[in-house]
Amino acid sequence: MPRLRWKYQRHTPRYTKKQRRLKRMAKQAFYAMCPYHNLCFNNKEDKSQKNDQKRLMHVQDEKHKIRIKTEDESETPCIAVEDGYTNSGEVDQLADEDPLTDEDPPSLMSDLHKMVDLSPLDRACHCPGGMQSLMAGEHYPDGHFITATEEYTSAYPAYPPGEPLQTSSGSTGIQYMSHRAMGNPEPHDVTIPGVNGEVPPPIEEHLSSSENNDFASCMCHIYESMAAEMEQVRRAKAAASRRECRRRQLESMTEEEKRAKHREEAVAQKKYRQRKLDSMTDEQRRAYRAAVAESQRMRRRLRMESMSEEELKAYRAEAAATQRRKRQVQRQKMTDEELQMHRAVEAALRRYRRKSSSRKETNSHRRAAAKARREIQLCQLEEGLDEEEDIEQYVAAAASAQRELDQYREEYDMNAQQHSDMQGDDTTPENLMVQLL
């Protein structure tokens, strides 16, 4: 079995596990460079994180609701996460009443970690207010007023090591330190300066929302286009490597091995084309065959145009010999009745072609005579010919053309009468086939 393209071998995977892992890591790294990708609602990665957020924010079951204890240890009514953090005032009130400890529910701790440790845009995604609260410039648990054009230093001030993070009400309930104090890497700066260091426009203009709830600043489409171009380059390189490997294999083969390999590949290609045609409709099949025939004619024409005179003569002689051998093989496979019918059909086709060619010549003679008559009339009208010699010359030319046309008509009628007497009145190939059958 020759080594064909990968689609002929369904069991062979297109990519290995290592290649798939590298592609996935490259995609994640590219998306990590995009500061607006978290705002793109059509992104397909981090589905597990989205499901966790949806479970935390939208679950109404009793067992997933967070219970907040007061100082007298009396349980307050259940406050869901989506109802407990509508604005910064409620967060400050909860922090004043009961600071968080390690014994509190881990979901609330992780949620507050997200709310404090994220950048302003990511925080807008995690907070219930979303983009509207970010655009309105509300206070967040770190107590800083955030707008769309503020720098990182204003949104994340450098707290001294060990100093608690103050809330907007002045309490020290949430004992979180800044990123610099904790030794963590700083979050990605959401402001992208221009070429000359200018500040980007406000967030309403910079993150323009389209009709499908997507953000134009996200680089997803850039990655998709770049990935498509890289896929085309990869396919071109793979095709070049396959051609080179095939060339080396053919060079190392003998003539018999080459012919056997060509036969095997031709059989495989024929089977593939047959499967492809079987899966098509009639219109698709006709269009496919027409496209294949047109491409073959184009390749043949280009190949013949690039040949010299000697090569063209040799090519035509070889094509004629191939056709003769093909017809000879077909005749050898026929029975006597089939051979007789085949010869009768060929004779009828020759007569039909001869008749059509004579009709074409007759029409050409008619056109020549009509053209001569029109020229005489135009010359008489435009030039106003008064000389008898010119008029006699034009009349003689028209008369000679008419005589030639009449003579050709007589010959054509005589030949047609002879053929009709020999073969009958109707000698078209269709009627002849009907008579033979």
What token pair was written down for 365? 């003679």
Q: Report pLDDT for 24.
A: 80
Determine contact, residues 140/127, Cβ cutoff 8 Å. yes
Q: Report pLDDT for 264.
A: 92
pLDDT, greater one: 437 or 414: 414
The C-alpha atoms of residue 136 and residue 230 are separated, in whole angstroms, by 42
Please report how the helices 255-278 and 282-305 are oriented relative to each other, as an axis angle in degrees rounded to 10.
140
pLDDT-wise least confident of 112-116, 230-234, 259-263: 112-116
* Measured CA angle at 167 (ends 165, 171), to 5 deg: 90
User: Please, which residues have CB within 8 angstroms of residue 121's CB and are 6 or more apart in sequence?
Assistant: 35, 36, 38, 39, 134, 190
Q: Report pLDDT for 79.
A: 40
pLDDT digits (tens, 9 = 90+) for 345-400: 888 888 777 777 777 666 676 677 677 667 766 666 666 555 566 666 666 766 77
Q: Report pLDDT for 16.
A: 78
pLDDT at 423 over 60: no
Determine contact, residues 430/350, Cβ cutoff 8 Å. no
pLDDT digits (tens, 9 = 90+) for 94-114: 444 444 444 444 444 444 444
C-alpha distances out from residue 307 to 21, 123, 311, Å:
51, 71, 6
What is the arithmetic mean of pLDDT over 255-259? 90
pLDDT band for position 294 (cuts 50, 70, 90): very high
Which of 169, 166, 17 minimizes the C-alpha distance to 92?
169
pLDDT, greater one: 255 or 68: 255
pLDDT band for position 118 (cuts 50, 70, 90): very low
What token pair was written down for 217? 């600043």
Determine contact, residues 61/34, Cβ cutoff 8 Å. no
For the chain, the structural domain boundaries read 35-215, 348-436
Kindly state the DSSP code that residue 371 receives in the 8-state scheme: H
pLDDT digits (tens, 9 = 90+) for 178-215: 334 444 444 444 444 455 555 544 444 444 444 444 44
Burial of 196 (0-12, 13-18, 19+ CB in 10 A): exposed
Q: Report pLDDT for 267.
A: 92
Q: φ, ψ for residue 145 (rounded to 5)?
A: -85, 120
pLDDT at 328 over 50: yes
Average pLDDT of the residues of the chain: 63
